[in-house]
Amino acid sequence: MDFMKELLSQTDDAETPRTWVRWAGLMSIAAVSAFNVSLDKYYYKLSPNIYALLIGKSGLGKALPIHIAKQLVETVDNTRIISGRNSIEAVILELSRTRSRENKPMIADSRGFLVSGEFSNFIISNPQALTIITEWYDTHYLGEWSNTLKSTGVEKLKGVNITMFGACSPPHFRDFVTTRDIEGGFVGRTMLIYAEKRYKINSLVDKPDIELDLTKLADYMKQVSQVKGEFKWSSEGKRAYKDWYTSLRQREEQHSYNGDRTGTDQRIQDHVCKVAMLLSLSHNTDLILQEEDINEAIKLCTQFVSDAKKANLNTAGKSALAEQTGVVLTFLMKYPTKGASREEILKRYWNDMDAFDLDKIEMTLLQAGAITAESEGDDKVYKLTDKYLKQVEAYTEKKKKASKVNGT
């Protein structure tokens, strides 16, 4: 059974955005896989545990994917499920305890699935909570984690493997995620899956053609939970990943601007590998990373980088697109006659801006008389105006004269 196709088919009459349902499936696989599978990165072994938050306005349908993921993982019953309202201290205590299961081996390591339909209420206010959760993400370097407090003594977590899945609205996200968390690594490790529109409009007064059957889906999840071993690359999958990664880093070196304060850009290669592993497991259990797994993972991961910007993570009072606008103008200066296409700009600077940003930049520069925008098929070509080029020339000449006067 193709797990993902089945999940999407069973939820096709739901209004919930498709991307949220898909991530519910991936998060379920991540939670039940835990340490069972990995990818050898030679300096570390990468586990497919991931953190993801669904971001969108209230009433858009976040509850359904959270419910699906939680129920599937509960049915498999091979990891701790921590939900509801908690303190970070209570979460640490739960992860440190050996958990017994009826007619099954005990869970002795510190694996867990943190899941909440309203993540801003999941962890009771504690300035260290998200910092601790951030540290747990990197299972390949963590080893043993200790919490030493005067009140509780020493609590040790061995074999930490945490998958985290939650949901919240943009205002609530900004309430509980501080600038320290944005720039300190939490957001860089967390996939923010943003949606604005319903998948479809459906009053749900008529019975769906295909009903949600978690039992059928859970049967496949149980198979996945039994798979153990290391992922291998197909020759096509390896080539696709290497070509993408090399191109990514070469583009970074070609321009110094990097507007990413979260660190996501520097971690995206591991995000892609983790998601590719989960996509592979959603299709079959052969532990082979195929080219289609890599390409789909790249698509999903580059989208959530864009989604993070749409979730309005920038601190208040700062012009969010000032630097990006400068990047566009600088790039167009290289081609004053020919100009550059919209597609070319987005491909080159995907990790600095998305189509949503470029729309605003285009409007600003058009109103300022700095560029023209001409349609060419399905694309647009931007060119600097004579007015703007003369302003740049005059400014450059003024600086030269000032330098001569100052003797520099």
The pLDDT tens digits for 282-314 are: 999 999 999 999 999 998 888 877 666 555 444
pLDDT for 244 beyond 70: yes
DSSP 192: E
Structural domains of the chain in order of their starting residue, each with its CATH number: 3-229 (3.40.50.300), 322-406 (1.10.10.10)
pLDDT (average), residues 4-29: 96
Q: Is pLDDT larger for residue 106 or for residue 289?
A: 289
pLDDT at 101: 81
pLDDT at 239: 97
pLDDT (average), residues 179-188: 74
- DSSP E strand boundaries for 169-279: 190-194, 229-230, 232-233
Assign 79 a pLDDT band (cuts: 50, 70, 90): very high
pLDDT at 312: 47
Longest distance between any two alpha carbons in the chain, whole Å: 87
Tens of pLDDT, residue by residue over 138-176, are 876 666 787 665 455 567 888 899 999 999 888 777 777
The partner residues of 73 in beta bridges, in order of sequence, read none
pLDDT for 319 beyond 70: no
Q: Is pLDDT larger for residue 38 or for residue 248?
A: 38
Q: Report the SS3 class of residue 55.
A: strand
Q: Is pLDDT larger for residue 271 or for residue 86?
A: 271
Of 29-43, 59-73, 159-173, which gets the smallest average pLDDT?
159-173
CA–CA dist 133, 380 (Å, integer): 43
Strand order in the sheet with 379-384: 340-341, 379-384, 371-376
Inter-residue contact 305 to 265 (CB < 8 Å): yes
Assign 123 a pLDDT band (cuts: 50, 70, 90): confident
Q: What are the two backbone dihedrals, phi and then psi, of residue 383, each rounded to the nearest 5 degrees?
A: -135, 145
Q: Is pLDDT larger for residue 360 or for residue 127?
A: 360
Of 26-40, 62-76, 109-123, 391-405, which gets the smallest average pLDDT?
391-405
Share of the chain above pLDDT 90, in %: 45
pLDDT for 266 beyond 70: yes
Contact residues for 114 (Cβ-Cβ < 8 A; gap 6+): 82, 83, 91, 122, 133, 162, 163, 164, 165, 166
pLDDT at 60: 92
CA–CA dist 168, 92 (Å, integer): 23
| 158-172 per-residue burial string, b: 16 or more CB within 10 A, e: under 16 | ebbbbbbbbbbbbeb
Q: Is pLDDT larger for residue 206 or for residue 175?
A: 206
Assign 259 a pLDDT band (cuts: 50, 70, 90): low
Of 36-50, 74-88, 234-248, 339-353, which gets the smallest average pLDDT?
339-353
Average pLDDT, the chain: 85
pLDDT (average), residues 7-35: 95
Assign 262 a pLDDT band (cuts: 50, 70, 90): low
Q: Is pLDDT larger for residue 101 or for residue 276?
A: 276
pTM, two decimal places: 0.75
pLDDT at 223: 95
Most confident of 68-72, 88-92, 303-307, 342-346: 68-72
Q: Is pLDDT larger for residue 364 or for residue 279?
A: 279
Assign 252 a pLDDT band (cuts: 50, 70, 90): confident
pLDDT at 143: 67
**Which contiguous run of DSSP H or E holds residue 166?**
strand 161-168
